């Protein structure tokens, strides 16, 4: 009998030890699962949220023009161009519509970034499920605010942008991207240099595009890089930087898509089609200002050679078509350093991570575009890098 009792006692201890081990294992499993969730990409969860995306208004394909970047190349085949560096060809061009004219530039520039994110893949999946229409962007900004993103910005806009004409800028785009699990960086260029120049801004943009082509041995004048476009903000307006042109004279032009400049002024008075109006680095600001009366006036980036055809309907519809257009119809919008100098402060929103490397700010190609759940949580507070 004593042997039997001893055997039962051992069994009881074994059971207790086994239960403790199971509790420990379960606890470790929960901790490991929690760690995995923190390090898992937030994008995966968000893209899989069918209920969320079913409610989101998606941008129609005929509102965007694909394949524009490669077709800009012929515009740089001129004697005074030393070289040009353009952003990723995954980027589409968009313009403000009749319904958002005068207030929609921030949304349209955001959508141009989104077209890149929709086509760019990481771990076999698109970075972004779909490009949102303006109401969709507004809804997601409000959802982000409700979850505690950018509480200061939410208060400034009264926690409401849906179905309004409120402008958005870099902080709202940063908040939207963080909510979607996309990494971005804001850089502040607080003040110009001597003679109102913004050499530091242009230097940084030049290095951003050129660094991606540094290992490519090419004798071509134009280099199309894999870098995403940049969101450039100044007081009252924003544009998308898609490249930079270096001239033999030493001057530089930023290549921009300005969503507010789409229709030639000549169409407004039903006159014959004229050349697209463009800033010229060889004339002064006053003459440029006479050409373009304000930042939001619409100007076409297309160069139409057939002066016999002055049909606004035909021209407008051809602009919206997804079908490829001849390269001769495309013309980039150049902005020189004098024009950049008209504004004191700029902000640049960059997709991905920008860090200080060897004493200067550089885009981190190793960081990737996607945020983990833990990183996404930390980005609820908007931060920026400042160039003093």
CATH says 50-387 is which class?
alpha beta
DSSP code of residue 59: P
Task: Give pLDDT, residue 6.
Answer: 45
Residue 279, helix vs strand vs coil = coil
What whole-number distance in Å separates Cα of residue 257 and Cα of residue 260? Answer: 9
DSSP code of residue 129: S
Task: Please list the pLDDT of the chain residue by residue as tens digits (388 residues).
Answer: 444 444 454 555 565 556 566 556 555 555 554 445 556 899 999 999 999 999 999 999 988 989 999 988 888 888 799 999 999 999 999 988 888 888 999 999 999 999 999 999 998 899 999 999 999 999 999 999 999 999 999 999 999 999 999 999 999 999 999 999 999 999 999 877 676 678 899 999 999 999 988 656 556 899 999 999 999 999 889 999 999 999 999 999 999 999 877 533 332 333 333 333 232 333 233 333 333 334 433 333 333 333 333 444 344 334 434 444 444 444 558 899 888 888 889 999 999 999 988 888 999 988 999 999 999 999 999 999 988 6
Residue 333, helix vs strand vs coil = strand
Task: Give pLDDT, residue 28.
Answer: 56
Distance spanning both ends of the chain, measured CA to CA: 87
What whole-number distance in Å separates Cα of residue 160 and Cα of residue 111? Answer: 20
Residue 234, H or E segment: strand 230-234
Helices and strands: H and E segment counts in the chain: 13, 13
- Of the candidates 258, 300, 336, 337, the residue annotated as catalytic is 258
Quickly tell me which residue has 């930042």 as its tokens: 295
DSSP code of residue 327: G
The model's pLDDT over 86-136, given as tens digits with 9 standing for 90+, comes to 999 999 999 888 888 889 999 999 999 999 999 999 988 999 999 999 999
**Residue 258 known to be catalytic:** yes
Task: Give pLDDT, residue 349.
Answer: 98
**Residue 294 known to be catalytic:** no
What whole-number distance in Å separates Cα of residue 149 and Cα of residue 376? Answer: 10
132: β partners = 58
DSSP code of residue 114: H
The pTM for the full model equals 0.76
Residue 240, helix vs strand vs coil = strand
What whole-number distance in Å separates Cα of residue 91 and Cα of residue 68? Answer: 8
Task: Give pLDDT, residue 327.
Answer: 42
Nearest residue to 181 via CA among 380, 382, 383:
380
3-state DSSP of 281-322: CCCCHHHHHHHCCCCCCCCCCECCCCCCCCCHHHHHHHHHCC
DSSP 334-366: EEEHHHHTT-S-EEEEEESEEEEETTEEEEETT
- Of the candidates 93, 105, 110, 150, the residue annotated as catalytic is 105
Domain ranges, ordered by start, for the chain: 50-387
- Of the candidates 93, 198, 234, 237, the residue annotated as catalytic is 237
**Residue 105 known to be catalytic:** yes
């Amino acid at each position: 009998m004593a042997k039997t009792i001893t055997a039962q006692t051992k069994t009881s201890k074994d059971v207790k030890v086994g239960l403790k081990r199971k509790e420990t294992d379960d606890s470790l499993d929960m901790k490991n699962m929690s760690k995995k969730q923190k390090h898992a990409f937030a994008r995966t969860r968000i893209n899989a949220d069918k209920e969320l995306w079913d409610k989101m208004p998606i941008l129609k394909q005929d509102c965007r023009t694909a394949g524009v970047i490669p077709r800009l190349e012929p515009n740089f085949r001129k004697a005074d161009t030393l070289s040009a560096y353009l952003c990723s060809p995954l980027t589409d061009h968009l313009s403000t519509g009749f319904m958002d004219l005068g207030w929609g530039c921030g949304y349209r520039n955001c959508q141009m970034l989104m077209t890149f994110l929709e086509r760019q893949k990481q771990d076999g999946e698109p970075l972004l499920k779909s490009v949102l229409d303006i109401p969709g962007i507004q809804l997601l900004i409000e959802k982000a605010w409700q979850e505690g993103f950018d509480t200061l910005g939410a208060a400034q806009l009264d926690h409401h942008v849906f179905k309004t004409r409120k402008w958005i800028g870099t902080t709202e785009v940063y908040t939207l991207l963080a909510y979607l699990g996309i990494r971005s960086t804001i850089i502040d260029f607080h003040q110009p240099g001597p003679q109102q120049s913004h050499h530091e801004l242009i230097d940084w943009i030049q290095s951003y595009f050129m660094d991606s082509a540094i290992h490519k041995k090419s004798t071509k004048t134009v280099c199309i890089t894999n870098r995403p476009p940049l969101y450039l903000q100044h007081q009252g307006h924003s544009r998308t930087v898609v490249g930079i042109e270096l001239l033999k004279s030493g001057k530089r032009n930023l290549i921009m898509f300005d969503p507010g400049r789409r229709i030639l002024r000549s169409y407004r008075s039903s006159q014959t089609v004229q050349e697209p109006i463009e800033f010229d680095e060889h004339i002064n600001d006053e003459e440029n200002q006479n050409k373009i009366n304000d930042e939001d006036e619409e100007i076409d980036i297309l160069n139409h050679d057939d002066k016999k055809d002055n049909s606004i309907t035909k021209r407008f519809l051809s602009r919206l078509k997804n079908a490829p257009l001849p390269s001769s119809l495309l013309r980039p919008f150049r902005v020189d350093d004098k024009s950049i100098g008209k504004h004191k402060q700029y902000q640049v929103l960059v997709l991905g991570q920008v860090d200080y490397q060897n004493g200067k700010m550089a885009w981190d190609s190793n960081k990737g575009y996607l945020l983990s759940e833990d990183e996404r949580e930390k980005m609820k507070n908007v931060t920026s890098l400042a160039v003093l």
